[in-house]
Amino acid sequence: MPLKIRCPHCRRILLAEDDTAGQRKLCPACQRPLDVPLPLRAELELTNVAVQCPRCGADVAPGTIICQRCFTDITTGMRLPLLQRLARIPIRTWTVCGLTVALAALFIYVGVHVVTVRLARPQTPETVLAPAPAPGFPAEQWAARLLGAPDEQERASAREALVLGCASAAEQVARAVAAALQASLGDLVSDERVTWNRRAALDVLGFAVDREGGAATGLAPLLAACAARPELHVAARRAQGLLGDAAALPDLRELWLERARRYVFLRQLARLTAAGDAAVTGTAVRAARAELDYVAAALHGLKETREEGVLDALLESYWDGRTWLGQQRSEALSEELFELAKPRATATAADAGFELEKQAIRGARDALQRAGQRAAPAARAAAGLVLAHCAPQYESARQRIVAAVVSVLAGCEPAVQQRLTWAVARLTGRQFGRISGHGRPADVQRTDVEAVLRWARSAGVAEPGTLRTSVEDYPTPRRLTYRVVPPLRQLERDLLEEFGQGWERSRAALERWLVAGLGCTAEVRALLDPGQRSPNYPALAAALVIAAGCEARDVSRELLLWQEARDQPGWVRALAFAALGALDAKAGRWTSGWPAGWQLPPVAELEAGRPGWEHFGYTLALGGVPMIDRLERVASLPGEAKERLHRIAGRMARLRAAERNP
């Protein structure tokens, strides 16, 4: 690096190279000799002598007395006292050390807290809120009062005291109540009051056994004796289930199915009952719900010891439940079966939080997935259908159940194959032969089963084996020669037939259908099936219009597929898009974007009625005022077309209002 120097003769500032330092040179200005001085750093290096600390060996500046690394006196070689060394540490160093220690302590506290929470067993509301009884709880006295209660008030008081006593003395309460109940059974006098007292004792006994985790012993003979009496049969079987006695499973299964059927029927009846009888039916529904939960608690207790027997047996009843009055496609029974599949600790918690509810749903998913792998073929299919209805988000679990069902399909009986084929079509959303999951299992024939097996082999789902049945082995659907049909049901059948009889008859039948308010039935959903190879267009147009009045979750998927069907005529896509707009208008959310990009078919096609103006006008009427307002603001249609659609929609609205208010 050049050196900047000043000539001592002419005082001019000069630049000299590094390698000329210490040499004698001539000034280029005055031509007089001068000595190029050495840099200051080089002079120091030549004049100063390096000093090292005698303790740590660190280099220190000349004249330094204390080493800043080990705090040692350079002259004496002695280290400073501890307090003086601490006083010389900078404040910044103390701050950094303090923050490091605080963060380490915080991480340790959080880690210990997380581990403690994960290992801690959650407490049920009973263990949290139930007060502990006083020492020396008189279980024998309360048991005697319960079995000898003269009225309902005394019975309830004794029962409550015994239940609270189970919080810390469940085994003592169980022995006392069992002894008192055994003595009561020997009494020949048995009236209604005594029966209710014995039932209350069995309930307390089941609660005590439940608190003991099924560890109570010596109760099986007593409970069996009580189960033999018709008036005590249900309460005794419930206590046996909580005890974990497998002998009670067949009776508990039948009791649960009977009460589930009654609850489902009453719930549907309450929906259809006039407002004047709503209070009566609501009370009956709540009572039926309580009776169903009463038996379900025993099944939950029994499921803890033998899940396979309990859940598999109930899943086999899914197919019988399809014939129940008051439900459609076993949705209600699926919901009850899903509740039974949940873990007991969360399934019975009335105020379960969001996290506990998620754990319960995952537990039910795991239980149904296990049943789908190990149970009988019909129960496997039922497990998949229950999971698909109640937890459709678990698609991978549903696919594993489908693979397990297909793997045993070829070796089943023909009647079972019909159920499995229908279930696979419903779970996968595919059409196999004539089956797409919208019809009935009894409609499945051998060609449909073969279609499922071919699909499984080609898709690599499973290796199903070879089908060894013949066409004659499959039971044919039962045909009733005489049946009393309600007027609306008969009207529905007649109009469905007319939907496929050409555009003119289909349009007239559609108008009658909408005026009668028949709604979106299973047969209409079958007409909306996107898997049709050769759809009947008049019937399809009628079904698309009717779908505009359905629930979005029922038909949105089919309408979206028809809207995107590029191999179909343009009017099919336009009508499906309009039906999606009607669903959005009812929901108040324009998720489909209608009517952006929506165009009516050519006027000549509408005038010819293939389809007609009526189909689009009826769709506007089903969408209501919000849809008509949005059409006015957003859609770019000729004024004449808008006016004509408005007239048709208004006429349909008036016809429907007149039908509802004759």
Summarised one tens digit per residue, pLDDT across range 438-449 is: 778 888 888 888
**How high is the mean pLDDT of the chain?**
81
- The 10s digit of each residue's pLDDT in 303-358 is 877 777 788 888 988 888 877 766 665 678 888 899 988 887 644 444 445 677 78
pLDDT score at 87: 79
Q: What percent of the chain has pLDDT over 70?
A: 86
Reply yes or no on whether the pLDDT at 573 is more than 80.
Answer: yes
Are 379 and 371 a contacting pair, CB within 8 Å?
yes
pLDDT score at 383: 92
Question: pLDDT class for 130, splitting at 50, 70, 90?
Answer: very low
Q: What is the dihedral of CA 327, 331, 336, 337, to 10 degrees?
A: 130
Instruction: Average the pLDDT over 461-471 and give the result.
Output: 82
pLDDT score at 380: 92
Are 309 and 249 a contacting pair, CB within 8 Å?
yes
Are 210 and 242 a contacting pair, CB within 8 Å?
yes
- The 10s digit of each residue's pLDDT in 504-542 is 999 999 998 988 888 888 888 888 888 777 889 999 999
At residue 419, φ and ψ (nearest 5 deg) are -65, -40
User: Residue 643 to residues 298, 579, 628, 656: CA-CA distances in angstroms?
Assistant: 64, 19, 11, 20
> Buried (b) or exposed (e) across 319-338, using 16+ Cβ within 10 A?
bebeebebbeebebbbebbb
Amino acid at 425: A
Instruction: Average the pLDDT over 269-277 and give the result.
Output: 65
From 186-190, 572-576, 623-627, the region with the lowest mean pLDDT = 186-190
* DSSP 8-state code for residue 36: P
Nearest to 538 by CA among 551, 527, 549: 527
Q: Where is 572: in which H helix or E strand?
A: helix 570-587
Q: How far apart are the first and last CA of the chain?
A: 109
What's the CA gap between 530 and 261, in Å, rounded? Answer: 34
Question: pLDDT class for 384, splitting at 50, 70, 90?
Answer: very high
pLDDT score at 590: 85
Residues linked to residue 13 through DSSP beta bridges, in sequence order: 6
pLDDT score at 594: 85
Q: Where is 3: in which H helix or E strand?
A: strand 3-6
pLDDT score at 542: 92
Rounded to 5 degrees, what angle do the CA atoms 11, 15, 16 make? 115
Amino acid at 137: F
Region for 519 from its dihedrals, namely left if φ exceeds 0, alpha if ψ lies in -120 to 50, beta otherwise: left
Reading the block at residue 509, the tokens are 């039948």
Nearest to 347 by CA among 389, 312, 395, 296: 296
Question: pLDDT class for 127, splitting at 50, 70, 90?
Answer: very low
User: Residue 65 to residues 49, 59, 287, 459, 646: CA-CA distances in angstroms?
Assistant: 15, 12, 95, 86, 102
From 75-79, 219-223, 592-596, 655-659, the region with the lowest mean pLDDT = 655-659
> Buried (b) or exposed (e) across 427-453, using 16+ Cβ within 10 A?
bbebbbbebbbbbebebbbbebbebbb
Question: pLDDT class for 434, splitting at 50, 70, 90?
Answer: confident
From 124-138, 207-221, 338-352, the region with the lowest mean pLDDT = 124-138
pLDDT score at 113: 77
Question: pLDDT class for 126, splitting at 50, 70, 90?
Answer: very low
CB neighbourhood size of 128 (10 A): 8
What contacts 48, CB < 8 A, 6 or more positions away? 62
Residue with tokens 């594993």: 400
From 89-103, 411-425, 486-500, 632-646, the region with the lowest mean pLDDT = 632-646
Reply yes or no on whether the pLDDT at 12 is more than 50.
Answer: yes
Higher pLDDT, 398 or 16: 398
Reading the block at residue 169, the tokens are 């003395």
Rounded to 5 degrees, what angle do the CA atoms 486, 528, 600 make? 115
pLDDT score at 552: 63
Are 552 and 587 a contacting pair, CB within 8 Å?
yes
pLDDT score at 431: 83
pLDDT score at 347: 44
Reply yes or no on whether the pLDDT at 644 is more than 70.
Answer: yes
Q: What is the dihedral of CA 647, 652, 656, 661, to 10 degrees?
A: 30
Are 383 and 376 a contacting pair, CB within 8 Å?
no
Higher pLDDT, 155 or 84: 155
Q: Where is 260: in which H helix or E strand?
A: helix 249-272
* DSSP 8-state code for residue 52: E
From 266-270, 549-553, 647-651, the region with the lowest mean pLDDT = 549-553
Question: pLDDT class for 133, splitting at 50, 70, 90?
Answer: very low
Alpha carbon 48 to its chain's center: 82
pLDDT score at 401: 92
Residues linked to residue 79 through DSSP beta bridges, in sequence order: 72
How much is the pTM?
A: 0.55
Reply yes or no on whether the pLDDT at 42 is more than 70.
Answer: no
User: Residue 83 to residues 71, 88, 89: CA-CA distances in angstroms?
Assistant: 11, 9, 10
Question: pLDDT class for 280, splitting at 50, 70, 90?
Answer: low
From 88-102, 269-283, 345-359, 560-574, the region with the lowest mean pLDDT = 345-359
What's the CA gap between 570 and 52, in Å, rounded? Answer: 95
What contacts 479, CB < 8 A, 6 or more positions away? none
Question: pLDDT class for 276, splitting at 50, 70, 90?
Answer: very low
What's the CA gap between 215 and 268, in Å, rounded? Answer: 41
Nearest to 409 by CA among 352, 345, 456, 374: 456
